[in-house]
Amino acid sequence: MEFLVEMQVGWPPDGDPEQKKMLIEGEHKRAVELAKAGMLKRLWRVPGRWANFGLWEAPDATELHKAISSLPFYPWLDVKVHPLAKHPNDPI
């Protein structure tokens, strides 16, 4: 099942810069792992915001939640999930 996922990072302005750096590195590593596993299919950043949209694939919402909650920034994420279904007029 595919999902369109919007994530907004809510890192505190007075957050520890070293922790932020470590989290960014961990986030990259975990995203690569999720992509190799076939769960994270595409990722787009939102210019002007610390946010992204991603196309994810998982057997169900529970597995998607496990994957998203494994991200190092998860405690600071505002996540919106939109399950996707095939449309009969999809040109692809």
pLDDT of residue 68: 98
pLDDT of residue 92: 84
The two structure tokens encoding residue 78: 């505002």
The two structure tokens encoding residue 81: 């999930």
pLDDT of residue 62: 97
CA geometry: angle at 33 spanning 28 and 39, to 5°?
110
How far is CA 3 from its chain centroid?
10
- CATH code, 39-86: 3.30.70.1060
Domain definitions of the chain by residue range: 39-86
pLDDT per residue of the chain (92 residues) written in tens, 0 to 9: 999 999 999 999 999 999 999 999 999 999 999 999 999 999 999 999 999 999 999 999 999 999 999 999 999 999 999 999 999 999 98
Q: Are 44 and 54 in contact (CB under 8 A)?
A: yes
pTM exceeds 0.85 for this model:
yes
For 25, residues 6+ apart whose C-beta sits below 8 A from its C-beta are: none
pLDDT of residue 28: 97
